[in-house]
Amino acid sequence: MKVLVLNCGSSTLKFQLVETDAASERAATDRSLARGVVDGIGANAVLKLDVSARGEKPVREGVDAKDVRAAVERSLALVCRGDLGLASEPGEIEAVGHRVVHGGERFRESVLIDDGVVEGIEACFDMAPLHNPANLRGYRAAREILPGVPHVAVFDTSFHQRMPREAFFYGLPYVLYERYGIRRYGFHGTSHRYVSRRLAQILGRPADDPSLRLVTLHLGNGCSGAAIRGGTSIDTSMGFSPLEGLLMGTRSGDVDPAALLHVVTREELSPAEANALLNKHSGLLGLSGRSGDMRHLLEAEAEGDDRARLAIEVFTYRVKKCVAAYFGVLGGIDGLAFAGGIGENAPSIRARSLEGLEALGIRLDEERNDAARGAEREISPEGARCRVFAIPTNEELLIARDTCRIVSGRKPD
């Protein structure tokens, strides 16, 4: 089955064409035929298409994409170019999978989109005002262009919807949960689900083995950790929004609410300004004063920049605390995986994040760790009690698999 995967943001559309039968993750029959992105929707948009999997040169072109529909149309036209050998016509695309950030408590798994599902996505607009409306615009545009094709929603939050209540409640009046759904939801669910299943497969264990204890770390511009037992997320670091938890590129992560209230009062910030402070001007960028990009900070640290070093130290310290906490939550860790741009490509960050956890059975092999950059590799020594890996995430493939299974009448993993 050829599945078009769409991830629509406010001014960006990411797309990938995947061929899968989703019969078995062990069968290795999945193929990514092409992936691309349209940046700058609304003005001066640029489309980039990577077809290197077929030995073709990448495509880069300016496009007239005044809105999401135009971006989807142009992307589809390029994917369906017969000379690229992908899909010779839109009719060859048998299903469309859509990434949706927030599904609230209603959506515990991926679903075929109908009017009721659309209403459910709209009901979460207040909790994901930057993401859900954009995700829904992508769906509506694709639905108009491909009206006879089934469309499936795959939610970032659904993987974490089986967390026990002691893990997702805040210490706030219960009535706020009843009125407004104030609780921890967790995000990056598609990445944590993909990586944890791949990790279980590498370890030779069924993903749903109730004795299997895994920790996955998605470290990129956004960062989160997840504690997974028997294939189920039982805790995760992000909360009501993607702001909670680990230090990130421009997000603060955990902060004492009283500190924020103090700053808001002293600086006379509006809610919008406070939101921008926490989400756009904090994290690695805020601490270093120069960049939210870990690559730049590592270079600056090597040149003697103490603020860059501080940002990196806070970042790795918080990852270390997350892993240690999940050891306690799980009662031990059988496997740990790093994913995301930083997790997959920064050996020194992996090493610094796990340094000092040897008493928990978590160790790295220096040579293996240094060699693991952008590829799937074990980075723990032979015989380690907890096996550690770098595993490149593939959220689009997971979305395609879910879409294929649902359209085929099979339940998603």
pLDDT of res. 290: 97
Backbone region of residue 220 per phi and psi (left: phi > 0; alpha: psi in -120 to 50; beta: other values): beta
Contact yes or no for 402/412 (Cβ under 8 A): yes
Residue 261 backbone dihedrals phi, psi, to 5 degrees = -60, -40
- What is the architecture, at CATH level 2, of domain 205-390? 2-Layer Sandwich (3.30)
The pLDDT averaged over each successive group of 10 residues in the chain (413 residues) is 93 92 64 90 90 77 90 86 58 92 96 97 93 95 93 98 98 97 97 98 97 98 98 98 97 98 98 96 98 98 98 98 98 98 98 98 98 97 97 95 91 65
Instruction: Tell me the domain boundaries of the chain.
Output: 2-155, 205-390
Please give the Cα distance from 90 to 186 (Å, whole number): 35
pLDDT of res. 338: 98
Torsion of CA 342, 346, 352, 358, to 10 degrees: 100
User: Comparing 2-155 with 205-390, is the CATH topology the same?
Assistant: yes
pLDDT of res. 102: 97
CATH number of 2-155: 3.30.420.40
Q: Which residue has the tokens 């294939």?
A: 231
Instruction: Kindly name the residue from 30, 39, 114, 156 that is annotated as catalytic.
Output: 156
Judged on CB neighbours under 10 Å (0-12, 13-18, 19+), 110 is: buried
Please give the Cα distance from 390 to 369 (Å, whole number): 8
pLDDT of res. 64: 87
Please give the Cα distance from 377 to 139 (Å, whole number): 36
pLDDT of res. 413: 64
Is 156 assigned a catalytic role? yes
> The pTM is what?
0.94
